[in-house]
A and B are shown apart, each in its own frame.
Chain A
Amino acid sequence: MKSVMPDMQPMNQTVQETPQFRVLTEDQIEQIYFAALDVLERIGSRVHHDEALKLFRSSGDAVVSEDKRVRVPASLVERALKSYPRKITLKGRNGKRSVALQKDHVYFGTGSDLPFTYDRKTGERRRTTYKDVVDAGRIVDYLDQYDFFMSHGIVGDAPNPQTYDRHQFMAMLEGCTKPMVVTSVDGEGLEDLWKMACVLQGGEEEFRLNPMFVAYIEPISPLTNDVTAVEKLLFAAEKGIPAMYTPCPSSGATAPATIAGMLVQSLAETLLAIVLCHLKKPGMPLIMGGVTTVMDMRTTTYSYGAPELSLASAANTDISKWLKLIMFSTGGCSDSKCLDEQAAIESTISNLTAFLSGANLVHDVGYIDSGVNASLESLVMNNEIIGMVRQVGKGVKTDEEHLALKVIDEVGPGGEFVTHDHTYEHWREWFLPKLMDRSDWETWNNEGAKSMSERIDEETQRILDTHEPLPIDDAAKKELKAIIDAAEKRHS
Chain B
Amino acid sequence: MAVDLGKMSDLLIAGKVEDVSNMVQEAIDDGMDSSEILQGGLIAGMDVVGQRFKACEMYIPEVLRSAKAMSAGMIKLRPLLIESGAKTAGTFVIGTVKGDLHDIGKNLVAMMFEGAGFNVVNLGIDLDTQVFVDAVKEHKPELLGMSALLTTTMPRMGEVINALKEAGIRDQVKIMVGGAPVTDEYAKEIGADIYGANAASSVDKGREALGD
Chain A positions within 8 Å of B, measured between CB atoms, are 414, 416, 418-419, 423-424, 427, 439-443
Contacts and interface: CB of A to CB of B under 8 A. Distances in A.
A419 B110 CA distance: 12
B150 to A, nearest CB: 17
A418 B67 CA distance: 12
B174 interface: no
B65 A419 contact: yes
Contact of B60 (A418, A439, A442, A443): A418
B27 interface: no
B62 A424 contact: yes
B59 A427 contact: yes
B103 A427 contact: no
Contacts of B68: 419
21 contacts: A416-B103, A416-B104, A416-B107, A418-B60, A418-B107, A419-B65, A419-B68, A419-B111, A423-B61, A424-B15, A424-B61, A424-B62, A427-B59, A427-B61, A439-B198, A440-B197, A441-B183, A441-B197, A442-B184, A442-B195, A442-B201
A414 B65 contact: no
B64 interface: yes
B198 A440 contact: yes
Interface string B143-184: 000000000000000000000000000000000000000011
Contacts of B89: none
B127 interface: no
Contact of A414 (B15, B103, B184): B103
B108 interface: yes
A89 to B, nearest CB: 33
Contacts of A443: 197-198, 201
A204 to B, nearest CB: 45
Contacts of B197: 440-443
A443 B183 CA distance: 12
B69 to A, nearest CB: 12
Interface string B182-207: 01100000000001011001000000
Given A418-B61, A418-B104, A427-B61, 14 more contacts: A416-B103, A416-B104, A416-B107, A418-B108, A419-B61, A419-B65, A424-B15, A424-B61, A424-B65, A439-B198, A440-B197, A440-B198, A441-B197, A443-B198
Contacts of A442: 184, 195, 197, 201
Interface in B98-133: 103-104, 107-108, 111
A232 to B, nearest CB: 46
A280 B56 CA distance: 55
Contacts of A414: 103
Nearest to B104: A416
A333 B111 CA distance: 45
A36 to B, nearest CB: 50
Contacts of B104: 416, 418
Nearest to B65: A424
B180 to A, nearest CB: 8
A442 B107 CA distance: 20
B63 to A, nearest CB: 10
A423 B60 CA distance: 10
Given A442-B197, A442-B201, A419 B59 contact: no
B62 to A, nearest CB: 7
Nearest to A423: B61
B185 to A, nearest CB: 11
A440 B202 CA distance: 12
B193 to A, nearest CB: 16
Nearest to A424: B61
Nearest to B64: A419
Contacts of B64: 418-419
A419 B64 CA distance: 7
A430 to B, nearest CB: 10
A414 B126 CA distance: 12
Nearest to B111: A419
Nearest to B184: A442
B96 to A, nearest CB: 12
A141 B68 CA distance: 39
A416 B64 CA distance: 12
Return the 10 tightest CB-CB contacts between A and B, nearest first: A442-B197, A424-B61, A440-B197, A419-B64, A440-B198, A423-B61, A427-B61, A416-B104, A416-B107, A443-B197
Interface in B35-85: 59-62, 64-65, 68
Contacts of A440: 197-198
